[in-house]
Amino acid sequence: METVKLTIDNRQVEVPSGTTIYKAAKLLGIDIPVLCYMDLGDMNIENKPGGCRICVVEVEGRRNLAPSCSTNCAEGMVVKTHTMRVINARRTIMELILSDHPKDCLTCAKSGNCELQDMAVKLGVRNIPGQEYAEMSTYKTDFSPSIIREMDKCIMCRRCETMCNTVQTVGALSAVNRGFTAVVAPAFEQDLEKSPCTYCGQCVAVCPTGALTEVDSTPKVIRALADPTKTVIVQTAPAIRAALGEEFGMAPGTLVTGKMVAALRQIGFDHVFDTDFAADLTIMEEGTELLDRLTRHLNGDKKVKLPILTSCCPGWVNFFEHNFNDMLDVPSSAKSPQQMFGAIAKTYFADKMSVKREDLVVVSVMPCLAKKYEAQRDEFKVNGNPDVDFSISTRELAHLIKEFNINFADLADEDFDRPLGESTGAAVIFGATGGVIEAAVRTAYEVHTGKKLPKMDFNELRGMEGIRSATIDFDGLPISIGIAHGLGNARKLLEDVRSGKANYHAIEVMACPGGCIGGGGQPLHHGDSSILKARAAAIYREDAEKPIRKSHENPYIQKLYEEFLGKPMSEKAHHLLHTHYFDKGNKDVFI
């Protein structure tokens, strides 16, 4: 490998050619401050527009200062990172950025978790000269079902654009206008709701300021909890337990299932249930649908569509409704676990408890912002009453726990309530990329072959590669499986399917890189893939420790079918647990 030697702050370093000054300095333990820069690690994607100019350094022989995040090292280069010239420029630039940024830190959703705030502290900015007559660029606040855009707080780092366009290929966000009024927005500064946004929330996850935040549903949850006429139940998605601890200073990958249940009970939920239960139910329905389509296909039915695509991810559902509207009959019709849970809770469980639908409030805790939108979809309402009333993110739950004076670290572990709290290992792994399809395989194999699974762990389906494929031997029948996480990868895979280049029986797609563990509602990981890996490891650990690891063996699922649903894909199951998709094309996007 070709290398270059250079000097940074009087210290020698040798780096592979093509290394940026910023990264070379890091090797020496020199932390050049960066603001717009973002490294997505394993994805091999960097956001380095060279826009904020906070990372400028002095390079000997160069006329002007160099942005260290986007300037490559050269042989013999002499770099200085903290000369008077650099410090003055850096601080002046920071003052400029702050001069066009609201000063309402105290009430900002990102307060305490804001990279701009941290940078102001690091650079020691104590006043903003001329603030009293400095005009600010202002924009209308854009409220969508999941995401709030308060672009007065945008610093044009363009990270959201990288997520939306390069990683997710959604194309909802890009820079519009010029000069002082330049801002990141949907085309023509339309509202997000009119854009092809999928609400995956990856933009929110990387926004360094409070410009992009989730819709905060906790006040509504608190109000419901305080209402004596309401029975308030909660479901928590599999990915929460592997990440919530981070909000309380625990290491990434710490499993906090028991503490989380205890905290939810202390908050005052009447029943603490698990979305994992509904994940097992999803496997029953989706797995049966897969086998049904597969059998018909093998029997020569030309009308049957394969591959079957998973449909538990609402960001992904939004994405294909916008971008693959010619393939709306390809995804599984099974609802997502969140919505299956809501549908069962407001029928089966409400009946059991003799609670009226209107008096039962279902709250979901999700690693996801698209779930907020999903819960509000009209097809998931009965007479205007939604199956899931409120969906809050992992971050919002952490806020709620803190607001409710609960010392999370000291909580003793508790168990979920029955019957909607019982789940298997197959359900837990829904939280990581490849997990849904692995869970489906575990059940489909046994149902299809009538034999016991020879192994439980399908390592060929796990991992962090953006697009993966594997062939699973169903006792002589090779089942070809594709997996994509991140919508950009999903687009590639689906385009190959559409063009006939790729042939699969089943494909799992998760909108967020890493799957739900990397969801837009999770504790901010700033693109650090080691955090995602630790969360995934935790998920698989929980699976391994579960006594039951196959969805169809969940006794409460079996009971649900016996008592209520009949069998998978029965008429009742169809009515409650399946849905259909809408052509969102792009026809009303630019109107």
Partner 1 sequence: MHMLVCGGTGCRASASDAIVETLNSELAAKGMENEVQVIMTGCFGFCEKGPIVKILPDNTFYTQVTPADSAEIVAEHIVKGRKVNRLLYTDPENKEHISDSKHMGFYKKQLRIALRNCGVINPENVEEYIARDGYQAIGKVFEMGAQATIEQMKKSGLRGRGGGGFPTGLKWEIASKNHADQKYVVCNADEGDPGAFMDRSILEGDPHSVIEAMTINGFCIGATKGLVYIRAEYPLAIKRLQIAIDQAREYGLLGKDILGSGFDFDIELRYGAGAFVCGEETALIHSMEGERGEPTVKPPFPAESGYLGKPTNVNNVETFANIPVIILKGAEWFSAIGSEKSKGTKVFALAGKINNVGLIEVPMGTTLREVIYEIGGGIKNGKKFKAVQTGGPSGGCLTEKHLDTPIDYDNLLAVGSMMGSGGMIVMDEDDCMVSVAKFYLEFTVEESCGKCSPCRIGNKRLHELLERITKGEGTMEDLDRLRNLSHVIKDSSLCGLGQTSPNPVLSTLDNFYDEYVAHVTERKCPAGQCKSLMQYVIDQEACVGCTACARNCPVNAIAGDRKKPHVIDTSICIKCGACIEKCKFNAISIQ
Q: Are 508 and 480 in contact (CB under 8 A)?
A: no
**Which among 289, 321, 422, 438 is annotated as catalytic?**
289
Binding of partner 1 by 93 (CB under 8 A): yes
The stretch among 4-12, 62-70, 473-481, 496-504 that binds partner 1 (CB under 8 A) is 62-70
The stretch among 46-54, 273-281, 302-310, 323-331 that binds partner 1 (CB under 8 A) is 46-54
CA distance 469 to 421: 32
The stretch among 49-57, 215-223, 268-276, 564-572 that binds partner 1 (CB under 8 A) is 49-57
Pick from 68, 71, 202, 424 the residue near partner 1 by CB under 8 A: 71
Q: Is 286 a known active-site residue?
A: yes
Minimum Å distance from CB 96 to partner 1? 4
Q: Is 379 a known active-site residue?
A: yes
Query: Tokens in use for 133?
Result: 């007559």
Binding of partner 1 by 61 (CB under 8 A): no
Q: Are 396 and 519 in contact (CB under 8 A)?
A: no
The stretch among 174-182, 393-401, 417-425, 569-577 that binds partner 1 (CB under 8 A) is 174-182
Closer residue to partner 1 in complex, CB, 93/267? 93
Binding of partner 1 by 207 (CB under 8 A): no
Q: Is 289 a known active-site residue?
A: yes
Q: Is 516 a known active-site residue?
A: yes
Q: Is 374 a known active-site residue?
A: yes
Among candidate residues 305, 361, 341, the one with its CA nearest the CA of residue 581 = 305
Binding of partner 1 by 99 (CB under 8 A): yes
Q: Is 332 a known active-site residue?
A: yes
Site residue total, partner 1 (CB under 8 A): 38
Binding of partner 1 by 182 (CB under 8 A): yes
CA distance 366 to 520: 9
Binding of partner 1 by 134 (CB under 8 A): yes
Query: Tokens in use for 445?
Result: 């194999």
Minimum Å distance from CB 136 to partner 1? 10
Closer residue to partner 1 in complex, CB, 51/253? 51
CA distance 257 to 262: 9
Pick from 28, 78, 105, 175 the residue near partner 1 by CB under 8 A: 175
Binding of partner 1 by 97 (CB under 8 A): yes
CB-based contacts of 454, cutoff 8 Å, min separation 6: none
DSSP label of 300: T
Q: Are 237 and 431 in contact (CB under 8 A)?
A: yes
**Which among 58, 285, 374, 508 is annotated as catalytic?**
374
CB-based contacts of 190, cutoff 8 Å, min separation 6: 589, 590
Query: E strand or H helix at 469, and its extent?
Result: strand 467-474
CA distance 234 to 272: 5
Identify residue 374 by its one-letter amino acid code: E
User: Exposed e or buried b for every residue in 568-584, given b needs 16+ CB within 10 A?
Assistant: bbbeebeebbbbebeeb
CA distance 216 to 396: 7
Q: Residues 142-171: x/- map of binding to partner 1 (CB under 8 A)?
A: -------------xx---------------
* Residues 383-412 close enough to bind partner 1 by CB under 8 A: none
Q: Counting Cβ atoms within 10 Å, is residue 216 exposed (0-12), middle (13-18) or buried (19+)?
A: middle
Rama region for 450: left / alpha / beta (φ>0; ψ in -120 to 50; rest):
left
Closer residue to partner 1 in complex, CB, 146/168? 168
CA distance 295 to 332: 15
The stretch among 104-112, 175-183, 255-263, 399-407 that binds partner 1 (CB under 8 A) is 175-183
Query: What residues are labeled active site?
Result: 286, 289, 312, 332, 371, 374, 379, 516
Residue ranges that bind partner 1, judged by CB under 8 A: 48-53, 56, 64-65, 67, 70-72, 85, 88-89, 92-93, 96-97, 99-100, 129-130, 133-135, 155-156, 174-175, 177-183
